[in-house]
Amino acid sequence: MNTEFTNIAGNILDSIKQSKKILLHCHPFPDPDSIGSVLSMEAVLTKMGKEVTCIIGDSQYPEYLTSLPNHDRIQLKNYSEIDPKEFNLFIILDSSSLTQISQKKEVIFPDTLKTIVIDHHKTNSQFGNINFVDSGSSSTSEILFKLFDAWGIEIDRNIAICLLLGIFADTGGFRYPNATPETLHIVSELSAIYPDYHKFVFDLENNKKPIELEMLGLALSNIHEYYSSQVVFSVISNEDLRSRNISKEDSMEGLIGNTLRSVSGWTLVASLVEAEPDIVTVSLRTRDEKRYDVSKIAKSIGENGGGHTGAAGTTIHKPLGEAITSLLGVISEFYPELK
């Protein structure tokens, strides 16, 4: 480990040792990396004798992750529903901005609350007192493995499966370029601790609901191709959602975006879903991360935009037609060669 890592790992550990009551949270619409990193950190902090509170954020706990050990320790509360003054330390995991803590109400930290941000998104705004942002790691779960190792923590089965699923999900089942040799070495160590991880992976990969398949079918039936089919959007209006009684929680932009990216020849793709009138959620993907950085597009065009080079998201507060035009404009501005 390099000196910079050693120093920040030590600073984080010192802050934990100096704290009695610690808060953790999951970001809105939590994925396996969000849930896995929170549950693994909760387990480690509990081993250290800390009083730990975990909150879910703006969303419900995902049903397909209820098989993870101790998932019931995550309370179905929002940041606005707790008193942050009760805590000494808030460890903010897998969240690139304050809006990833909550979008329901402005997030304000009391002066008495120390904040530590641990994340792998390169668009992180570094809003904590201590910020450990490692965009070279595949996931926040991978970062936590490195921290736990540096702290001399014995990783048990419960911690191992939470970290393993977080890494598996954020690497697309090891299909994405962020699955480095170091990542796979870590996975090898974790799978040795929890060799019967296959059931969790199966549940993760096979958890679709009929409504989600309907949503995917709707998206694929509304394909818009631009620039000789190098840029492709799937477009779903709010009327489409309401007529089929589909809620915005079922909109599955990530699944749609990943499906679009799987098509050969479609270089830069986006799923646009008008979750509410004049509110369009966008999931961006690219097949060519060496030439295109969709996080730049997401950060430039919408509110709370960001993510990774190959996968990013944002929200555009415009009517659907204007959102499409604006997105095309930003893409052509950043990458005129696509036109």
**pLDDT tens digits along 168-193:** 999 999 999 999 999 999 999 999 99
Predicted local distance difference test score (pLDDT) of residue 251: 59
Domain 3-205 CATH class label: alpha beta
**pLDDT more than 90, % of the chain:** 85
Q: 307 pairs with which residues across the strands?
A: 312
CA distance linking residue 269 with residue 253, whole number of Å: 11
> Nearest CA to 235 among 331, 333, 327?
327
Examine the pLDDT at 248 and tell me if it is beyond 70: no
Tell me the Ramachandran region of residue 80: left when phi exceeds 0, alpha when psi lies from -120 to 50, beta otherwise. Answer: alpha
Tell whether pTM > 0.85. yes
pLDDT at 1 over 70: no
Mean pLDDT of 8-31: 97
Q: Are strands 279-286 and 303-307 parallel, antiparallel or unpaired?
A: unpaired
Domain boundaries, the chain: 3-205, 210-338
Overall size of the chain counted in residues: 339
**Contact status, residue 282 vs residue 290, Cβ threshold 8 Å:** no
Q: How far apart are CA 83 and CA 221, in angstroms?
A: 46
Write out pLDDT tens, residues 32-84: 999 999 999 999 999 999 999 999 988 889 988 999 999 999 999 999 999 99
Q: What is the mean pLDDT of residues 216-245?
A: 94
Q: Is 117 helix (H, G, I), strand (E, B) or coil?
A: strand
Matching residue, tokens 């690139």: 96
DSSP characters for 180-223? -HHHHHHHHHHHHHSTTTHHHHHHHHS---HHHHHHHHHHHTSE
Query: What's the pLDDT tens digit per position in 115-163?
Result: 999 999 999 999 999 999 999 999 999 999 999 999 999 999 999 999 9
Q: How far, in Å, CA of 186 to CA of 140, rounded? A: 13
Structural fold of domain 210-338: Diaminopimelate Epimerase; Chain A, domain 1 (3.10.310)
> Are the folds of 3-205 and 210-338 the same?
no
Mean pLDDT taken over the chain? 94
Q: What percent of the chain has pLDDT over 70?
A: 98
Q: Are 33 and 170 in contact (CB under 8 A)?
A: yes
Q: How far apart are CA 333 and CA 296, in angstroms?
A: 11
